Amino acid sequence: MTNSSGNRPWTFYALAAFFAAYVLFLYGPMLCIFILSFQGQGGALVFPMRGFGLYWFIDLFTQVRTGDVIGAIERSLPLAFIVMALTVAISVASGMAFRQRFRGSGILFYGAVASLVAPGLVLGIGIGLMFQLLGVPEHWWSSAVGAQLTWTLPFGLLIMFAVFGRFNRAYEEAARDLGASPAQVVRLVVIPIILPGIIAVALFGFTLSYDEFARTLQTSGPTNTLPLEIWSMTTNVTSPALYALGTVTTAFSFLVIGISLGAIAVIQRRRFGRALPAKRP
């Protein structure tokens, strides 16, 4: 491993080229959409660029004929927040419960995680069917919430398992030893210590819900969520407004991820990052 940059083996270049291709494949299409969304009024769906401006962004939020974008956002955001809150609450509670083996814990765990491998489309159809069978009207805030939880909960659970796997139970014992009630142990010690993990679960809950498609398709009821709206637009909208929508939602996702990771980093730095100042001059 002491090779200088001058005589690297050929495999280095092969793997580097492979990685470059991968990155291009990953971000290239996104970049194309991003660029094409900033066209002028005469813009089309393909290169070359025709003019430059924010025309299609304005069009996106003003023209009704492009689809009910604003309405879809107004449904998708609260839906994502509901799913996020439920995912956090259930994952943290189960993470704490699963630290002990209890009767049926194995079956319960595999049952919860199995929905990761179940085909989402089929799962969504099943949930939709069940609601119809029971005569309960489907809505984004009822059946779609349930359908999306089958997707977000396994992730939340697995993250919390990892978090609690590293959690030193001596913290809880110390808190009890110092007279904390069970509720105080959770509120004053457990939650603050696992906060970075909770933020991670919230992030997953939010983003997985925000762009969920397969499970939501048959369960969102009479109105569309944002991904469903985008999908229906691809079939009848032929203007760069579609690209503008892609740019807006992608930017929003990155913003959410950035805020979450930033918060985790700040907490970690506060807690562990600062080196011992007393030790160094």
Partner 1 sequence: MAGRGRIDLVGLFKRFPDGTVAVDGVNLAVEDGSYCCLLGPSGCGKTTILRMIAGHETPTDGEIVIGGENVVGQPPSRRGTAMMFQSYALFPHLTVRDNIAFSLRARGVGKAERYREADRVIEQVQLAALASRLPAQLSGGQQQRVALARAIVTKPRVLLLDEPLSALDEFLRLQMRSELRQMQRQLGITFIHVTHTQLEAVAVADQVVVMDRGRIEQSSSARGIYAEPKSAYVARFMGGQNVLSGAVAEAPGAVLRLGGPRGQHFLLAARERRPARGQTVYFSVRRDRVRLARWARDGAPPDNAVTGSVKAVEYQGTYVKVTLALAMAETAVNGADEFVVYVEEGGYFGDPLGVGDGVVASWEADEARLLAGGPAAGAPH
264 scored as a contact of partner 1 (CB under 8 A):
no
By CB under 8 A, the count of residues binding partner 1 is: 27
Place of tokens 């969920």: 212
100 scored as a contact of partner 1 (CB under 8 A):
no
Residues 189, 256, 263, 264: which binds partner 1 (CB under 8 A)?
189
180 scored as a contact of partner 1 (CB under 8 A):
yes
Residues 126, 176, 250, 256: which binds partner 1 (CB under 8 A)?
176
Q: Which is nearer to partner 1, 120 or 196 (CB)?
A: 196
Residues 13, 171, 231, 254: which binds partner 1 (CB under 8 A)?
171
8 scored as a contact of partner 1 (CB under 8 A):
no
232-240: long-range pairs with CB below 8 Å, 24+ = 232/67, 233/66, 233/67, 236/67, 237/66, 237/67, 238/45, 239/43, 239/45, 239/56, 239/59, 239/66, 240/36, 240/37, 240/39, 240/43, 240/44, 240/45, 240/56
Residues 54, 93, 174, 266: which binds partner 1 (CB under 8 A)?
174
165 scored as a contact of partner 1 (CB under 8 A):
no
**Torsion region of 135: left, alpha or beta (phi above 0 gives left; psi -120 to 50 gives alpha):** left
In this chain, which stretch among 92-100, 139-147, 148-156, 168-176 interacts with partner 1, using CB under 8 A? 168-176
42 scored as a contact of partner 1 (CB under 8 A):
no
Residues 179, 222, 236, 281: which binds partner 1 (CB under 8 A)?
179
192 scored as a contact of partner 1 (CB under 8 A):
yes
> Going by C-beta distance under 8 Å and a sequence separation of 6 or more, which residues neighbour residue 34?
243, 246, 247, 250
Least distance to partner 1, CB of residue 206, Å: 24
- Residues 165 and 232: their CA atoms lie apart, in Å, by 43
178 scored as a contact of partner 1 (CB under 8 A):
yes
Token duo for residue 73: 């956002």
Residues 3, 7, 11, 168: which binds partner 1 (CB under 8 A)?
168
Q: Which is nearer to partner 1, 50 or 176 (CB)?
A: 176
103 scored as a contact of partner 1 (CB under 8 A):
no
- Residues 216 and 143: their CA atoms lie apart, in Å, by 8
116 scored as a contact of partner 1 (CB under 8 A):
no
User: 3-state SS of the chain: helix, strand, coil percent to 5?
Assistant: 70, 0, 30
Least distance to partner 1, CB of residue 166, Å: 12
266 scored as a contact of partner 1 (CB under 8 A):
no
184 scored as a contact of partner 1 (CB under 8 A):
yes
Q: How many CB atoms lie within 10 A of CB 87?
A: 28
Identify the burial level of 181 via C-beta atoms within 10 angstroms of its C-beta, where 0-12 means exposed, 13-18 middle and 19 or more buried.
exposed
26-29: long-range pairs with CB below 8 Å, 24+ = none
Q: Which is nearer to partner 1, 65 or 270 (CB)?
A: 270
Residues that bind partner 1 (CB under 8 A): 168, 170-171, 173-181, 184, 188-189, 192-193, 195, 270-272, 274-279
